[in-house]
Amino acid sequence: MAQTVGGVSKRALARALGAAGAAFGLVSLVAPRAVATGYGVPVTPGGLQLQRLFGSRALVVSALALTARTDEEVDRGLVAVAAMNLLDSVTALATSRGAGRRTTVRAVASSLAYGAAALAVRFMKD
């Protein structure tokens, strides 16, 4: 695997993924309606509450990447992001009945893309 991508190191890419996840988490907490609308999820009080829960989870997992001090911690955080997003994708597919095709496709595509990016960075050489 590459040591850098476009001249950017593994650790910097991991932090960028962490920052993106933290941004998503923060938006999900403070503007859950915008995120729900973007995914095509009906805006209901319960849906907004659930969106905020996803936001808090995203913030906590992102903190792993943003606070990692060793290569092992960076790798562990990236694997956690990939595993969480794989589980989200499987769950979205398994529970897609009634959720709507567009919502399911958006959820699965975004989770797989973010998880794949985390794995790609994870397997870069230090």
56-95 tens-digit pLDDT: 999 999 998 899 999 999 999 999 999 999 999 999 899 8
92 is a domain residue: yes
Q: Which domain holds residue 101?
A: 9-122
Domain for residue 2, yes or no? Answer: no
* % the chain with pLDDT above 70: 94
Q: Which residues are CB-neighbours of 120 under 8 A, at least 6 positions away? A: none
Whether 77 is covered by a domain: the verdict is: yes
Global pTM reads 0.85
The two tokens of residue 5 are 């991508």
Domain-located, residue 104 = yes
Residues 6+ positions from 79 with CB-CB distance below 8 Å: 118, 119, 122
> Would you state the pLDDT for residue 20?
95
- Work out the average pLDDT over 36-61: 88
Is 4 a member of any domain? no
Q: Specify the number of domains making up the chain.
A: 1
Predicted confidence band of residue 2 (pLDDT cuts 50, 70, 90): low
